[in-house]
Amino acid sequence: MDKKKFNIPSVITIAASHFFHDVYSYFLPPALPIIKEALKISYSQAGMLSIFQRFPAILNPFIGGFISKKPSSLVIALSIFATAISMCFITAAPSYIVLSLLILIMGLSSCFYHIPAPVMIRKYAGDKTGTGMSFYMAGGELARAAAPFVILGAIFLFGITKVYYLIPFAAIFGLLFIFKFKKDENWNFNTKDTDSQKKDELEEPFLKVIGRMKLFFFTIFMIMMAKASIAATLNAFLPVYLTSTGSSLWFSGISLSVLQVAGAAGTILAGPVSDRFGKNNTLLVSTFLSPILMFLFLFLDSSFLMITIILTGFIAFSPAPVAMAYVQEASGKNHTVCSSIYMMIDFSTIAISIILTGILGDFFNLKTAFVCCGIISCFGFPFVLLLRKSKCVHIK
């Protein structure tokens, strides 16, 4: 395989796996109004669900070290199946404790998915890492756009307790995914043999990598925090916010899908644009415009609601593939370790943003919480400038 060639079939297949995984993992936000009413949970409790989902991210460095010696296709297929099983039972959860346990299981399987998948993208994207990451992220954003229709449609067709009818689709795709990539991977589970054959390819320890690249990863953390304060917050609370202002459940679900389609378009374009005009320039534009569009969404007349949702989704989601490409290009031989660090950063910033929004929503109201998130996102711009000046990584 030509390492510089962009392998379109393989990249699209990996992006499709992102779609399948995230369409299940994103069942919670569109179903949250139903669950919130059924279990009588508060905004803070709803936000705490994100903690349970993101908590396994602290294990990412250890998960990364473990799966670096395992076939990526097998890990990805099993992760999709585990996520499907856990999320297809959330609407049937009899209590908040059971719901939290299901979300925790999904969070763990999500970690096992999101660490090897970007590494596979880098392998098959050749010298067009940004474009490859855009395909990958677009799969996730399209999944989030489809998730409201899938989960609400399943509830309508099968009933609130029978969403598990969707599980076989995950199993079928997982088997096809393994069949597609098995020939390109080492399925020798004898760790000693594998290590003796690839000593020169072994990655550095997590602490050594994080110590050497601490400034770089801190800057990435702040940029992702700015991104999450808008993108993750709208992902989690847009349906609840719209229903609280009088919109119907279906309109709220459609609005969330529109947000995700716009986000998918933004992620698709962000990679090629960053490959052509530079990653820093792309991040500067997105971090500058995101808070402005958030405030327009909150304060313009309701007749502009859908337009501002589209524009906000298009811009606010775009930093993700660029930041991920940045990390992969800076990783050297430590692809899996750096991927696990990035995912730990991504998950933690999302968790912080959602929990903070939930607390502010309970203490004040969701609109005030959204305003605070818009203010926080303003701090992303100066850290992009810092990333440009950073001497710890050199990227064209």
In this predicted model, what pLDDT tens digit does every residue of 220-266 receive, in sequence order? 999 999 999 999 999 888 988 998 888 787 788 889 889 988 988 99
Q: What pLDDT, in 10s, does the model give residues 55-75?
A: 888 788 788 878 877 889 999
Crossing angle of helices 319-330 and 116-125, rounded to 10° = 80
Question: Residue 330 and residue 214: Cα distance in Å, rounded?
Answer: 12
Is 176 inside a domain boundary?
A: yes
User: Which parts of the chain have pLDDT scores under 70?
Assistant: 1-4, 187-202, 389-396
Task: Answer yes or no: pTM beyond 0.75.
Answer: no
Is 394 inside a domain boundary?
A: no
Q: Which long-range contacts (CB under 8 A, 24 or more apart) does 94-98 make?
A: 95/39, 96/39, 96/41, 96/45
Is 216 inside a domain boundary?
A: yes
- Estimate to the nearest angstrom the gap between the alpha carbon of 374 and the chain centroid: 20
Q: What pLDDT, in 10s, does the model give residues 195-214?
A: 544 555 567 777 888 888 88
Cβ proximity of 122 and 335 under 8 Å: yes
Please state the domain count of the chain.
1
CATH (domain of 273)? 1.20.1250.20
Is 302 inside a domain boundary?
A: yes
Is 380 inside a domain boundary?
A: yes
Is 20 inside a domain boundary?
A: yes
> What Rg value do the Cα atoms of the chain yield, rounded?
20
Average pLDDT, the chain: 86
- Estimate to the nearest angstrom the gap between the alpha carbon of 13 and the chain centroid: 17
Q: What is the domain range of residue 193?
A: 8-389
Is 322 inside a domain boundary?
A: yes
Is 1 inside a domain boundary?
A: no
Residue 197: its pLDDT value, please? 47
